[in-house]
Structure 1
């Protein structure tokens, strides 16, 4: 793991007359994805060298595994995955969606798969 860790992203909430919004990044390079996981499936157990990822659960039933810890987030819960940490996203039953915001050098080839149900490890 790098010793010069970027600070954990500060998610800011602003109230407006119609409700509110949460700002996850401001004027910094990021890659943003919504990951769709089919019912009962999970991604490979993996790690990256060059990026941190902030995950936000969008649906109930998501399962996050980070550094050997199993997390069952409620919708809206956030988890920061540091570069070098093992991690995976899965579904405890229903199809789920997870917002992923990657900080750092994003390259799909920077995936080291440690376990994979689809023969890619």
Structure 2
């Protein structure tokens, strides 16, 4: 079953095993998977996407996740679903932060619409 993208939000399936468990993020669906590493004190641009939703899982480090103006602590294990069109950003604190990103929908790097970028990118 895996993640079902129904009404915009995926459902993670947790499967118990004698040795522990696993969380099924995607099964036989078109998706793109990346690990994003942000250097200490740095941040992604404040951006949105027209053609894809994103599911973030913080792997390690700490920082801040911003989605539609709401800020939340980015710490190991934090999971966030970002719908297409929502403005979002990941910022690192004093240490690097790494996030697993699973994108659902048409993945095009130039699908980003930037609202704010400290590096001068448009």
- TM-score, with structure 2 as normaliser: 0.89
Q: Find the counterpart in structure 1 of residue 3 from structure 2.
A: none
| Structure 1 residue ranges (4+ consecutive) displaced by more than 4 angstroms after TM superposition | none
Q: Find the counterpart in structure 1 of residue 11 from structure 2.
A: 10
Q: Find the counterpart in structure 1 of residue 42 from structure 2.
A: 41
Q: Structure 1 residue 14: deviation in Å? A: 1.4
Give the RMSD, CA atoms, in angstroms: 1.3
Number of residue pairs matched? Answer: 117
Question: Tell me, which stretches of 5 or more residues in structure 2 are unaligned?
Answer: 1-5
Question: Tell me, which stretches of 5 or more residues in structure 1 are unaligned?
Answer: none
Name whichever structure is richer in strand by fraction.
2
Greater shift in the superposed pair: 81-90 or 12-21: 12-21
Q: Structure 1 residue 110: deviation in Å? A: 0.3
Q: Structure 1 residue 18: deviation in Å? A: 2.3
Q: Is the 8 A contact 1:62 1:97 kept in 2?
A: no
- TM-score, with structure 1 as normaliser: 0.90
Q: Find the counterpart in structure 2 of residue 98 from structure 1.
A: 99
